[in-house]
Amino acid sequence: MERIGHRALRDRVMSADEAAALIRPGDTVGMSGFTGSGYPKAIPPALAARIDAAHAAGEAFRIKLWTGASTGPELDGALSRADAVEYRLPYNSDPVGREKINRGEIDYLDMHLSHVAPMVWEGFFGKLDVAVIEVTGIKEDGSLIPATSVGNNKTWIECADKVILEVNAWHDMRLEGMHDIYYGTALPPNRVPIPMTHADDRIGQTTFRCDPAKVAGIVLTDLPDRNTPFTPIDDGSRAIAGLIVDFLEHEVRMGRMGEGLLPLQSGVGNVANAVLDGLRKSRFEGMRAYTEVLQDGMLDLLDSGKLLSCSTTALSLSPEGAKRFWAGLDDYRDKVILRTTEISNHPEVIRRLGVISMNGMIEADIYGNINSTLVMGSRIMNGIGGSGDFARNAYLSFFVSPSTAKGGKISTIVPQASHVDHITQDVQVIVTEQGLADLRGLSPKKRAEAIIAKCAHPDYRDGLQDYYDRARAGAYGLQTPQLPSESLSWHQRFIETGDMRPG
Amino acid sequence: MERIGHRALRDRVMSADEAAALIRPGDTVGMSGFTGSGYPKAIPPALAARIDAAHAAGEAFRIKLWTGASTGPELDGALSRADAVEYRLPYNSDPVGREKINRGEIDYLDMHLSHVAPMVWEGFFGKLDVAVIEVTGIKEDGSLIPATSVGNNKTWIECADKVILEVNAWHDMRLEGMHDIYYGTALPPNRVPIPMTHADDRIGQTTFRCDPAKVAGIVLTDLPDRNTPFTPIDDGSRAIAGLIVDFLEHEVRMGRMGEGLLPLQSGVGNVANAVLDGLRKSRFEGMRAYTEVLQDGMLDLLDSGKLLSCSTTALSLSPEGAKRFWAGLDDYRDKVILRTTEISNHPEVIRRLGVISMNGMIEADIYGNINSTLVMGSRIMNGIGGSGDFARNAYLSFFVSPSTAKGGKISTIVPQASHVDHITQDVQVIVTEQGLADLRGLSPKKRAEAIIAKCAHPDYRDGLQDYYDRARAGAYGLQTPQLPSESLSWHQRFIETGDMRPG
Ligand SMILES: CC(C)(COP(=O)(O)OP(=O)(O)OC[C@H]1O[C@@H](n2cnc3c(N)ncnc32)[C@H](O)[C@@H]1OP(=O)(O)O)[C@@H](O)C(=O)NCCC(=O)NCCS
Ligand SMILES: CC(C)(COP(=O)(O)OP(=O)(O)OC[C@H]1O[C@@H](n2cnc3c(N)ncnc32)[C@H](O)[C@@H]1OP(=O)(O)O)[C@@H](O)C(=O)NCCC(=O)NCCS
């Protein structure tokens, strides 16, 4: 209760069940949460239970669910399992949600994260009924101390008719002051420049404004973030990391960047952590990060003193990482800045800063088009997230992946991408454990030669070369030779036989 | 000669042949020119003749050619015909050049126009040897009065070892003062906000800086821009324009925009002119344009008083349009602003202003992915140009096309795009003469239903519905149901039979 500074609001404390009862069938609900942190953990399971009961009684009850990005099992997992979600945006990585989406049971709109807040404000998605936001605390004036992610919370709080808060005592009160909530955005024609010129500039305030009259309920919790265990770095990831560090060293030698590089953006996952580990062991000094998620590797890099600061919209730590983060909080406070996704992913800022962007992929085709989302062109993995915001506006955009998936049965380098998230114009460097293809300045056919030679797995290299040679001889045009009769046949073979390799 | 204010530079006047002789085999040459205006018209043909002679003598002679965007027959046409171009960026619409590219004889890098200047500065494409720039005049201090397009000229002049100028007396001297050349760009980490908040803000100077010591030659000309004749508006284009105007009226009624709309960007071509004509006849008042090209329809709109100003990087007029433009110049001077492509296409500015973007397409697939460039996935039409800069950052991005091409033998709505330039996330509205699909907020399957029902031609609608139904029943995943065994079969059928319709 002492986390609720605003006296009058103490009266709105209620149980998770009571709070869940404030949500009506058909409501559009904006919840906090970004990569498994800062999402509400008590109300969603209570809502799922309520919806389960309604369904058992033969009543229709589903909601439209908006978040910052992915959340945790208590939110996407519980609600998906209860068939409670009719519509979902902008990102999901929950396995239960994914399964329902891929069975066609949830309408899923996979969006550029930088588009979400503006388009909601512009009214393109209709009205937001309820916001359910996890916070660290409520101040005396009713303003809210954000939790371990910011995401779209500012927008949900401002746009929703009513706001329900989860005040989570698991979050250290010293988080206060780490956030940078920028209130300078507007709708056109009233937009102005975002006054940021360095990755670690602070341009906003440390709390969310919130009209106490809109707060319909408050639930007190003490529950940990998702905090997925960390997997040790494997050889393939280490090889990719080594290639990237070598390449960046080359760029520094060419005089294109200083020893501090340019602000780093890195996706989540094994390869990303390996790259951060590689940078920690490199000779670079005075680096900064401008990214969406702060993972364990970033903590190591901060601890090493080589990374001066990290701007992010969310923490995404392992359980050990979270422990370290709380233990070292007095140190991290000045180095870590948590921003709204509207700013962390803003094309204006990313292009101005000249971010070095490194993201994972599902597959790349020989011309350098990237599929980040849809396995075999149809089955969603997670979503595009912020990868498009970063890749198109980056100073250098890297896409990385092992050269094969599923024990070698899938080549991640294919004749034609079965779906495209990042067009070849947005991709400067592709890296697999086989090698690095520097695509800058290369026309499509030169790209194909580089990608096949450098990135493809030996099991698939000859097949790609053979396809490319035949396309060059017989395609409808030779700017980007493709044979539509067989450019997706590798995917088709996998669907039919479970292996892209001819039987 | 009186157009060369700088006395000492008068000594550098020479013939086009002499100027062409300053270009060496293997040079990278940056030429002016954007959509058929402001390109050099005397030196390229002289260079082509010189290269023809070299080739006849058995000598190797090719250059790497960079421009703003498309040029004219005297430039791309003459040089392509002479097999003088080894490498070309960032855009081509010349038929001879296109043919050579599609035969694999020119290495063509089709780029986002907003990427060109920054990446050249960043050193990603190597050194620029020579700049060949058409100008209206040279001032006493050696600064240059730009011509009818700005494009990348500022960058070419600054980056090239030597500069060759064509001073073209065809351009009215009253052009001086219409240009806005912004010198505030920089390389990261030194970039700052672009200080523009309205489409017609002036933020730069009216001339190009140019070190007279770098000027290696000056050629005097009096030659018209390409100025392609205007084709009268056809019924299909008029239908598309009507649907767009209705849609915008609806948005105004919903309170999402005022009567002046938001700044307009429109591509070139028949449909674009029809839309401008529709806007002229609409009830909108106080409009502004923030675009890449000013075509005849924009003049009409300016003349009507409904368009207050037009920011562009180039004029692209018919011969009659050009005559009108010169005749009305005293009036247009205050309303037309010619900027560098770096600024006209800058994501920061486009997103801030909230541009309404309208571009043509080759094809759209049922999920709303757009192909703007590669017929049957392989054969280049023109290039992506600025369409990606605008579509991703627009307030509303429209893609428009007749529902069929080649007399009905091609459906421009297909199961899967044979190439993707604009991912579905960057497309809010698709319009054909059949109807308008408002895709905002729709998940992929809802998009497919809207696009098939609203945009497809009746000859192809059942085929698309049948494909979609079967994909929904049998795809590998149901987020974006596709059947890789047949998603490109319509293209394959056209390649084999010349018709997408089953025989
Ligand atoms: C593309 C993406 C899924 C790769 O994830 P990752 O953790 O880096 O890479 P992994 O190699 O571990 O692959 C993850 C899964 O995808 C599978 N996969 C990868 N490539 C595949 C392919 N071509 N075909 C089928 N499955 C594939 C892997 O087998 C693995 O599956 P599993 O979880 O069942 O083992 C991930 O980067 C992503 O979601 N990207 C889009 C959003 C984004 O870029 N966010 C970054 C911040 S902006
Ligand atoms: C896509 C684009 C080619 C359409 O051009 P347009 O003039 O608006 O439209 P049209 O319908 O007249 O089509 C132009 C040609 O493409 C052909 N075409 C159109 N769709 C086609 C398709 N699906 N398959 C084959 N050919 C097609 C037309 O038949 C026509 O050919 P022709 O010149 O031989 O008669 C053009 O908009 C473009 O180049 N866009 C990319 C760059 C851009 O968007 N710039 C805008 C400024 S940022």
Half-sphere exposure of B347 (CA within 13 A, CB side): 23
Residue that has been written with the tokens 């070892």 in this structure: B161
Does the pLDDT at position A421 exceed 90? yes
Q: Does the CB atom of residue B386 touch ligand 2 within 6 A?
A: yes
Q: Does the CB atom of residue A403 touch ligand 1 within 6 A?
A: no
Q: Does the CB atom of residue B381 touch ligand 2 within 6 A?
A: yes
Q: How far is the CA of B405 from the centre of ligand 2 (A)?
A: 9
Q: What is the distance between the terminal CA atoms of chain A, rounded to a whole angstrom? A: 65
| Mean predicted confidence (pLDDT) in B467-488 | 98
Residue that has been written with the tokens 């319009």 in this structure: B431
**In chain A, where the domains are located:** 7-221, 235-497
| Ligand approaching nearest to the C-alpha of A500 | 1
Q: Does the beta-carbon distance from A376 to B484 stay under 8 Å? A: yes
Does the pLDDT at position B503 exceed 90? no
Q: Does the beta-carbon distance from A485 to B477 stay under 8 Å? A: no
* Measured distance CA(A383)–CA(A395) in Å, rounded: 23
Supply the residue whose CA is at minimum distance from atom 8 of ligand 1: A360
* Measured distance CA(B382)–CA(B366) in Å, rounded: 23
Where does residue A220 rank: exposed (0-12), middle (13-18), buried (19+ CB within 10 A)?
middle
Q: Does the CB atom of residue B360 touch ligand 2 within 6 A?
A: yes
Instruction: Give the ligand 1 atom nearest the CA of A389.
Output: 48
The answer to whether A6 and A212 are in contact (CB under 8 A) is yes
Does the pLDDT at position A441 exceed 90? yes
Q: How far is the CA of A156 from the centre of ligand 1 (A)?
A: 29
The answer to whether A153 and A381 are in contact (CB under 8 A) is no
Does the pLDDT at position B268 exceed 90? no
Q: How far is the CA of A400 from the centre of ligand 1 (A)?
A: 10
| Mean predicted confidence (pLDDT) in B107-136 | 98
- Using CB atoms, pick whichever of A423, A441, A488 lies closest to residue B125: A441
pLDDT digits (tens, 9 = 90+) for A282-330: 999 999 999 999 999 999 999 999 999 999 999 999 999 999 999 999 9
* Measured distance CA(A417)–CA(A427) in Å, rounded: 14
Among B371, B376, B476, B494, the strongest candidate for a mutation testing the A interface, having the largest count of A CBs within 10 A, is B476
Q: Does the beta-carbon distance from B440 to A124 stay under 8 Å? A: yes
Cα dihedral across residues B63, B69, B75, B76: positive or negative: positive
Does the pLDDT at position B228 exceed 90? no
The answer to whether B337 and B178 are in contact (CB under 8 A) is yes
Has this prediction a pTM greater than 0.95? yes
Does the pLDDT at position A1 exceed 90? no
| Ligand approaching nearest to the C-alpha of A403 | 1
Residues contacting residue A368 through CB under 8 Å, at least 6 positions apart: A424, A427, A430, A437, A439, A444, A447, A451
Residue that has been written with the tokens 């929904």 in this structure: B472
| Mean predicted confidence (pLDDT) in B380-401 | 98
Q: What is the distance between the terminal CA atoms of chain B, rounded to a whole angstrom? A: 65
* Measured distance CA(A319)–CA(A168) in Å, rounded: 17
- Using CB atoms, pick whichever of B418, B446, B477 lies closest to residue A380: B477
B residues 124-143 near A, CB within 8 Å?
124-126
B residues 246-275 near A, CB within 8 Å?
254, 256, 262
pLDDT digits (tens, 9 = 90+) for A168-203: 999 999 999 999 999 999 999 999 999 999 999 999
Q: How far is the CA of A474 from the centre of ligand 2 (A)?
A: 23
Among A350, A479, A487, A493, the strongest candidate for a mutation testing the B interface, having the largest count of B CBs within 10 A, is A479
| Mean predicted confidence (pLDDT) in A449-465 | 98
For A236, the 3-state DSSP assignment is helix
pLDDT digits (tens, 9 = 90+) for B26-62: 999 999 999 999 999 999 999 999 999 999 999 999 9
* Measured distance CA(A142)–CA(A147) in Å, rounded: 15
| CATH class assigned to B7-221 | alpha beta
Establish whether domains A7-221 and A235-497 are of one fold: yes
**pLDDT at A229 (0 to 100):** 84
Q: Enter the CATH code of domain B235-497.
A: 3.40.1080.10
Find out whether B271 is annotated in a ligand binding site: yes
DSSP A440-465: TT--HHHHHHHHHHHHS-HHHHHHHH
* Measured distance CA(A225)–CA(A238) in Å, rounded: 28
* Helix or strand holding residue B130 (H, E): strand B130-138
* Measured distance CA(A460)–CA(B323) in Å, rounded: 60
- Residue numbers of B annotated as active site: 292
Complex ipTM: 0.98
**pLDDT at B79 (0 to 100):** 98
